[in-house]
A and B are shown apart, each in its own frame.
Chain A
């Protein structure tokens, strides 16, 4: 059922370039992922504590709300960008 059905569908060079573009996009998204959660919500919270949000500071907002909203945007952004990368490198599913 599994590996016998796998096929790449492209030559090595295309898939290398495709993979590199994918990894670049992924790293960008993961930097944002880490920045809003580990950064703004935890480690850099004291640095942005001057910015007030509804009775508390921006770091608290990121910790209990902002990071989750950014996570959602990140996944859809990645899925959307990947779909056009799939098409650009002609490796999308028919």
Chain B
């Protein structure tokens, strides 16, 4: 069967499945819409959390980041998994005991302050909206590459499907669709990786293959990679280029940012018991780890595969002639994500590090005149099955997997946004007497509006779309995580302390990001660059952890100088810490 029809068939089948689930899991009450009736099994919730968490960035970009940055990219691996330890130990069980529908609702109640709740809503919306834009553009790219429709058509189809199951089913519909999407995305990621690991090392499991011997050389994969890269003037794969300080802070920022992202936290409101929330975080990490343990193998093996393709007789020898390039290079050239320029006019493809001054004389000796093949980080995972020469159905599965990753995360984010609008703004601030039916309608309208905004921004991505990591994780780490943690672990932090802490953390972090990336991400308005940052070697992406320290210190100092929280709040914190008495699954 033609590859195009195969892609269409597999993607079409998965979409039909998602819509079928949506019909089956319609939401009839606000508890169902916001928290899936608090009746989701912890393992099911773990799987849904996995899909919710693993976005287009995890699925498509992370392996590419690892392939081209080697050891330094470990910050993503540790940061995006280590956050779950913080969630399980410091936040999930207590917020589940509290029993709210949204993250700002907890902040507002614990700190007895409408202002705190509204700042929570603001942080949530900014973090989630930037995040969702990346998902929507990812949907457009996957559609245009695999189904040969325009970006716009692809995005509109994706938005229509999300609209259908998120508006109809709320948290309940989204949870069960995410379970299906998890299965699709994890198969799509691991199956090609297993084939490639077998081809390169003869080892079935990719995480073991990464530390095994390369069939062609008899040397370990990583040792081979280091040698080959060194011969082409690139930095060592397993070596550290970044400073200890920046690597430390970047990892910490991603960890506490992960624990503070509202769309992840609200998933733990859906399990029946407090103890389930702890286990569920563990299950979520198991399901996430299946991808995160595979990604480093995919990255290293893909890098080696590309170099092997270009230098079939070894790195010191004749490079591949451009006319003899394999099919996958031809395919991806059409999308401009691979670009070739024959700089020395010899008709061959040379890859090397032309930014390394020490390699200049060697390059001249070989008659090379600059690196000739530009490979975009993001294509590695999508092109992997083609690079390894895998059958057509695997390519189709990867297309469906990329879409599943983007759609499941988009739905989770939209749910967090619509909950904040209908529950925290409409019910919490504008019309507290709204009926349950009215609130459910408001939640659905908010969801539809959020999808419309996300689709519009996906079609017309603003300049800051690429800065998602810095912005979303910076805000979650510096503003949301500290206030949630203090809400559980301190009885003395009061309303003023929380508000001041959140604002200081937020502002300091935003200013630091803007100083390096440009004010409101407008190009050329930055005073510093990440290559030469303001404070020691701390890049703007790593500043969230320092912002969090500002938040903690401010909240403690202000709380000391002002009146302590009332008795009922201190009692509330006491009861938060004890599992007994949590509201279980309701009998709707």
Interface residues of A, Cβ cutoff 8 Å to B:
1-3, 5-10, 12, 15, 18-19, 22, 26, 29-30, 33, 37-38, 41-43, 45, 53-57, 60-61, 63-65, 67-69, 71-72, 74-76, 78-79, 82-83, 86, 91-94
Quick one: closest A residue to B423, CB to CB? A1
Q: Which 5 A-B pairs have the closest CB atoms?
A: A55-B220, A54-B211, A63-B74, A9-B580, A75-B282
> Complex formed: what's the CA distance from A22 to B85 in Å?
15
Known: A68-B293, A71-B84. A43 touches B248 (CB 8 A): yes
Q: Are B578 and A10 in contact (CB under 8 A)?
A: yes
Contacts of B93 in A (CB 8 A): 82
What would be 20 A-B contacts, judged by CB atoms less than 8 Å apart?
A1-B99, A2-B105, A3-B572, A5-B99, A6-B97, A9-B578, A10-B578, A22-B577, A33-B82, A38-B252, A64-B296, A65-B207, A68-B77, A71-B85, A75-B278, A75-B282, A76-B279, A86-B275, A91-B578, A93-B275
- Asked if B355 is at the interface (CB within 8 A of a chain A CB), the reply is no
**B residues 157-216 touching A (CB-CB < 8 Å):** 207, 210-213
Q: Does chain A have a CB within 8 A of B453? A: no
Q: A68 touching B78 by the CB < 8 A rule?
A: yes
Contacts of A2 in B (CB 8 A): 98-100, 105-106, 109
A48 to B263, CA, bound (A): 38
B581 lies within 8 A of A65 (CB): no
Known: A54-B220, A68-B78, A75-B281. 19 other contacts (CB 8 A): A8-B578, A9-B578, A15-B574, A19-B577, A30-B85, A42-B244, A56-B211, A56-B220, A61-B211, A63-B74, A67-B78, A72-B282, A72-B286, A74-B85, A75-B84, A83-B275, A92-B580, A93-B581, A93-B584
A82 vs B88: C-alpha distance when bound (angstroms): 11
Inter-chain contacts of A79 with B (CB < 8 A): 88, 275, 278-279, 281-282
**A interface majority secondary structure:** helix
A93 contacts B274, C-beta separation under 8 Å: yes
The verdict on A6 contacting B98 (CB below 8 Å), with A63-B71, A67-B82 known, is: yes
- Closest B residue to A27 using CB positions: B89
For A9, A43, A56, A72, which residue has the most chain B Cβ atoms within 10 angstroms?
Answer: A56
In contact, A60 and B581 (Cβ under 8 angstroms): no
Evaluate contact between B88 and A93: CB separation under 8 angstroms.
no
* Interface status of B219 (Cβ within 8 A of chain A): yes
Q: Which residues of B contact A30 (CB under 8 A)?
A: 85, 89
Please tell me if B101 contacts chain A, counting CB pairs below 8 Å. yes
Q: Chain B 82-94, CB within 8 Å of chain A: the 1/0 string?
A: 1011001110010
Mark each residue of chain B from 230 to 249: 1 if its CB lies under 8 Å from any CB of chain A, else 0: 00000000101000100110
| B582 to A, closest residue via Cβ | A93
A71, B285: Cβ atoms under 8 Å?
A: yes
A71 adjacent to B247 (CB under 8 Å):
no
* CB nearest to B87 among chain A residues: A75
By size class, the interface of chain B is: 35 or more
Asked whether A76 lies within 8 Å of B211 as measured between CB atoms, the reply is: no
Distance of A2 from chain B, by nearest CB (Å): 5
Task: Determine whether the beta carbon of B109 is less than 8 Å from that of A3.
Answer: yes
Bound-state CA distance A1–B533 (Å) is: 47
In the bound complex, residues from chain A placing their C-beta under 8 Å from that of B74 are 41, 60, 63-64
A-contact bits for B551-588, CB 8 A (1 contact / 0 none): 00000000000000000000110111111111110000
Instruction: Select the residue from A9, A67, A79 with max chain B CB neighbours within 10 A.
Output: A79
B81 within 8 A of A: yes
Residues of B within 8 A of A74 (CB): 85
B105 CB contacts on chain A under 8 angstroms: 2
Q: Are A38 and B251 in contact (CB under 8 A)?
A: yes
Determine how close the nearest CB of chain B comes to the CB of A32; give it in whole angstroms: 9
Complex contacts, B451 vs chain A, CB 8 Å: none
Nearest A-chain residue to B35, judged by Cβ: A1
Contact A60 B71 (CB under 8 A): yes
In angstroms, how far is the closest chain B Cβ from the Cβ of A60? 5
**In the bound complex, CA of A68 to CA of B84 (Å):** 10
Asked if residues B222 and A56 are in contact (CB atoms below 8 Å), the reply is: yes
Q: Which residue of A1, A69, A92, A93 is within 8 Å of B100 (Cβ)?
A: A1
Query: Is B375 in the interface zone, CB < 8 Å from A?
Result: no
B219's nearest neighbour on chain A, judged by CB, is: A55
Does B220 lie within 8 Å of A93, measured CB to CB?
no
Asked if B33 CB lies within 8 Å of chain A CBs, one says: no
CB distance from A16 to the nearest CB of B (A): 9
Given contacts A55-B211, A57-B238, A63-B71, contact A82 B575 (CB under 8 A): no
B580 touches A8 (CB 8 A): yes
> Is B514 at the interface (CB under 8 A from chain A)?
no
Contact of B581 among A7, A45, A61 (CB under 8 A): A7
Give Cα A72–Cα B289 distance, bound, in whole angstroms: 8
Provided the pairs A5-B583, A54-B211, A72-B285 are in contact, do residues A82 and B275 lie with their beta carbons within 8 angstroms?
Answer: yes
State in angstroms the CA–CA spacing of A53 and B212 once bound together: 9
Q: Which of B93, B211, B221, B293 has the most CB of A within 10 A?
A: B211
How far is it, in angstroms, between the C-alpha of A30 and the C-alpha of B78 when the chains are bound? 14
B292 within 8 A of A: yes
B303 surroundings in chain A (CB, below 8 A): none
B572 A6 Cβ-Cβ under 8 A: yes
Cα distance A78–B244 in the bound complex, in angstroms: 29
| Best-surrounded residue of A1, A5, A33, A61 (most CB of chain B within 10 A) | A1
